[in-house]
Amino acid sequence: MYSPDDTIVAVATPPGRGGIGVVRVSGPAAAAAAGAILRAGHDLQPRRATLTSVVGAPDLERALDQVVATYFPAPASYTGEDVVEISGHGSPVLLRQIVEAVVRAGARLAEPGEFTLRAFLNGRMDLVQAEAVADLIEAVTPLQARVAFDQLEGTVTAAIGAIDAALFDLSARLEASIDFPEEGYHFAEPAAVAAETRSLQQRAQALLAGARAGRLVREGRQVVILGKPNVGKSTLFNRLLGAPRAIVTDVPGTTRDLLTETAEVEGLPLTLVDTAGIRRTADAVESEGVARARGALQVAAAVLLVLDRSRPLDDEDLALLHETAAADRVIVVNKADRPPVWDAADLQDAGPRVTVSLRDEADPAGVRRALAELLWAGEPLRDTPTLSNLRHIVLVERAAAALARAADAADAAAPEELLLADLQDARAALEEVTGKRTADDVLQRIFTRFCIGK
C-alpha cells in the first residue's frame, strides 16, 4: 500500500488538450510544495481562488503559465488532508511541467486512485462511496451516473448502516445475557431474537432485490444481431448506434466479421455485435464469419433475430428460430414497407417481436423498448438504494445467509453463543462492504482501477 505521510501530486483532469487543466497536490506539505513554485507574493488563503503565476522550479523566476490556485486546508478537503489545486491552461506540456516542478519541491507522483484512497482512510467517505467515485467517472449513460451518484450520496451506506446498527444492538443484548448467567438475566428472549433476526434478514433481502437491475445498469450486457444475409442486420446495428458504423449494401455477405460497438439503449450500456449473415456457403472467409456469429451467440445476454417478411421463411430462417429458441431474444420482423409474404402472428410462442421498416425508420424505438424490457425481465430500477457492485452483492448475500442461520437457531432455542457467532458473521460481511473491515489487498485491487489524479 502507499504511504499516507507523503505529499502527492498528479494531473486531475483527463489526458489531452483543453481550455483548462488541474494539477492536484495533497499531503502534509501540499501548501509548502505548491507555494514554492507559485509567485502569489503571499500565502494562499483557505478556500479562496488566487490568480498567480507558476514557475518551473523554486529557484526560477521565469513563469511557465498563469494559473488559479486554491488551497483547501485539512480536514475540509477532498482527501481530508491539505490540498492545493492549480488550474492552468489545458496543455499537456504545461501541466506536466507544473507536476515536475511540484515534485522538485518535495512531492511525489500519485498512484492511481491514491487521492480517493486517502479520502477513505481519512474518513471523508466509506468504501462504497469511494467505489462510486470510479463508477461515476466511468458512467456512459445517465442511468449509470444516477446509480453511481446515489451511492456516492450514501444511500447504500445508510441502508447497510441501519442494518448493522440493529445487529450491534441485538448482539450487545445477547452478550449481556452470556455475561450474567448466574443472575438469570435474559436481555433477549429466543422468540424476540428470532423475530428481530428475520426482520433484519428481510431488510438485507430487500437490498438484494434490486441487485440484478443494478448490475445490469453498471455492467451492461452483450447483444448479438443475427439473421440471414440482407435481412437488415447491419442497418439495425447502425440505427441503434445512430451512426453508419457497418457497411450496408445490396450484396449478400457484405459483413464478414464481427463488428462490436457500445450503445445506450433505454439507459442501458449495451455492447452490440453485428454478425455475418448465417447461411451455407463455400466461401472460406464467409464461413469463418458465420462460425464467429454462432460463437457470439453462445456468450450473448440477448439476441436480436432479424427476419425479412417480404420473403418466405425458408429452412435457414427456421433453423435460426430453433437455434435461438433457448436464448433471450427479440424477433425483429423487418421490411414492413414491402408487401408481406408471411405474418408475424405465424411465429407462435416465439417471444417478443417487433415489426419495423429499417429503411424508413431512422430510430427503431420499438426495438429499443422491446430489448430493454427483455433485459429488465420485469425488474425495473427502483428509487430505493440499489446494489450494483458485485463485491457488495456477494457480501450482502453472505450477511443474509448468516442472519437466516441465526433466525433458525433462535427458533430451535439454540445457545446464545451460537446465535452470536452467526450475528457476528453477518456484521463482518456488512462492515466489509463499507470498508470497516477490509484487507489491504482488497483495497489495493479496488483503488488501482481508478485513473491517476483521482
Tens of pLDDT along 143-169?
A: 899 999 999 999 999 999 999 999 999
The C-alpha atoms of residue 90 and residue 14 are separated, in whole angstroms, by 10
Burial class of residue 238 (count of CB atoms within 10 Å of its CB; 0-12, 13-18, 19+): buried
First to last CA, the chain: 16
Over range 202-224, report the average pLDDT.
90
| pLDDT recorded at residue 331 | 92
Element (H, E) at 148: helix 142-152
As annotated, the residues of the chain forming the CATH 1.20.120.430 domain(s) are 133-210+386-435
pLDDT range class, residue 186, cuts 50, 70, 90: low
Q: Are 283 and 253 in contact (CB under 8 A)?
A: yes
For residue 294 the three cell numbers come to 454462432
For residue 453 the three cell numbers come to 489524479
181: pLDDT strictly greater than 60 = no
The C-alpha atoms of residue 326 and residue 186 are separated, in whole angstroms, by 56
Instruction: Give the homologous superfamily in CATH for domain 133-210+386-435.
Output: tRNA modification GTPase MnmE domain 2 (1.20.120.430)
> DSSP letters of 2-28?
--TTS-EEEE-SPSS-EEEEEEEEEST
pLDDT range class, residue 306, cuts 50, 70, 90: very high
Instruction: Give the homologous superfamily in CATH for domain 217-376.
Output: P-loop containing nucleotide triphosphate hydrolases (3.40.50.300)
| pLDDT recorded at residue 188 | 66
| pLDDT recorded at residue 187 | 61
| pLDDT recorded at residue 194 | 86
Q: CATH 3.30.1360.120: does it fit domain 8-126?
A: yes
**Cα dihedral: 12, 14, 20, 26 (round 10):** 0
Average pLDDT of the chain to the nearest whole number: 87
The C-alpha atoms of residue 205 and residue 217 are separated, in whole angstroms, by 19
State the CB neighbour count (10 A cutoff) for residue 283.
11
What does the pLDDT look like over 345-401, one tens digit per residue? 778 777 888 898 888 877 888 999 999 999 987 666 566 667 999 999 999 999 999
| pLDDT recorded at residue 351 | 80
What one-letter code names the amino acid at 426? A
Q: Are 228 and 308 in contact (CB under 8 A)?
A: yes
Q: Are 12 and 453 in contact (CB under 8 A)?
A: yes
As annotated, the residues of the chain forming the CATH 3.40.50.300 domain(s) are 217-376
301: pLDDT strictly greater than 60 = yes
The C-alpha atoms of residue 45 and residue 4 are separated, in whole angstroms, by 24
Using N-to-C axis directions, what is the helix angle for 440-447 and 127-138, rounded to 10°?
20
As annotated, the residues of the chain forming the CATH 3.30.1360.120 domain(s) are 8-126
444: pLDDT strictly greater than 90 = no
329: pLDDT strictly greater than 80 = yes
Weakest mean pLDDT among 54-68, 148-162, 238-252: 238-252
281: pLDDT strictly greater than 70 = no
For residue 49 the three cell numbers come to 481562488
| pLDDT recorded at residue 385 | 64
Q: Which residue stretches of 267-377 are H helix?
A: 284-299, 315-323, 365-376
Between 27 and 188, the more confident residue is 27
Q: Are 9 and 103 in contact (CB under 8 A)?
A: yes
Going by C-alpha positions, the residue among 166, 185, 160 that lies closest to residue 175 is 185
| pLDDT recorded at residue 179 | 65
